């Protein structure tokens, strides 16, 4: 399934992948490693391009400076192509999930350098909000949820005083914090943000993406 951002040209700036610093809370155990996804030996899923890490640190500070401080909880970051294929196959095997739903959630792994899956570039990150004590906030739908519940504005029409209304407010808070550092959100995933990849360039009307598929992917 082609994405509207695939025609965007890529001019990779050569930035390295960096491990996320200790300032970030990580989802443990890593969700895809726990399923048996085939990460090459020594591959850290919690790594991103240098500028992406720097921008995430800005977001972390924005959240900590709020009257009711929060922090980011990183679910997934760098994802090799073999892991992408594993998750496509894993989702296909779930009962009642259509092929259309699978390909709406997961970018089909591609070795074509002009259409890299976002997470293979080191520019995309899946994350949520957590308390200072590390407790994840309820966002009204799990990361990687299939169907409309994962869409950012799924609860937009809910009563603000209801649980659903609070979910929408939290999704908006996460979006504003990430947007303040230049990230863009996936149009159909409240948890997926990126900076510097094709999706980012398409959404921000930049002339090109800064990152192609990492050599480690």
pLDDT at 83 > cutoff 80: yes
CA gyration radius, the chain: 17
Beta bridge partners of 48: 18
- Chain segment 127-137, per-residue pLDDT in tens: 999 999 999 99
Q: What letter would DSSP give residue 21?
A: P
Q: What is the mean pLDDT of residues 5-21?
A: 97
Query: How far is residue 142 from each of residues 32, 191, 205, measured CA to CA in Å?
Result: 14, 9, 30
Contact 56, 18 (CB under 8 A): no
Q: What letter would DSSP give residue 102?
A: H
Q: Which residues are catalytic?
A: 189
Q: pLDDT at position 1, please?
A: 63
Q: What is the mean pLDDT of residues 130-151?
A: 98
**Of 184, 196, 148, 185, residue with least CA distance to 10:** 196
Q: What is the mean pLDDT of residues 45-67?
A: 98
Q: pLDDT at position 217, please?
A: 87
Give all domains of the chain, ordered by start, each with its CATH number.
17-204 (3.30.1380.10)
């Amino acid at each position: 399934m082609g994405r509207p951002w695939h025609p965007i040209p890529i001019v990779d700036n050569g930035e390295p992948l960096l491990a996320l610093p200790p300032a970030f809370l990580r989802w443990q155990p890593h969700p895809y490693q726990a399923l048996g996804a085939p990460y090459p030996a020594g591959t850290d899923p919690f790594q991103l391009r240098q500028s992406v890490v720097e921008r995430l640190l800005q977001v972390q500070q924005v959240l900590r400076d709020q009257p009711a401080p929060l922090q980011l909880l990183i679910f997934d970051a760098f994802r090799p192509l073999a892991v992408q294929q594993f998750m496509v196959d894993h989702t296909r095997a779930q009962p009642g999930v259509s092929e259309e739903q699978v390909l709406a959630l997961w970018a089909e792994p591609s070795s074509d350098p002009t259409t890299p899956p976002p997470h293979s570039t080191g520019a995309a990150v899946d994350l949520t909000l957590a308390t200072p004590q590390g407790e994840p906030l309820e966002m009204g739908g799990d990361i990687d949820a299939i169907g409309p519940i994962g869409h950012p504005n799924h609860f937009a029409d809910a009563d603000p005083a209801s649980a659903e209304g609070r979910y929408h407010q939290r999704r908006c808070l996460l979006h504003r914090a990430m947007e303040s550092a230049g990230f863009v959100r996936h149009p159909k995933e409240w948890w997926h943000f990126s900076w510097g990849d094709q999706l980012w360039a398409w959404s921000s009307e930049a002339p090109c993406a800064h990152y192609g598929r990492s050599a480690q992917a």
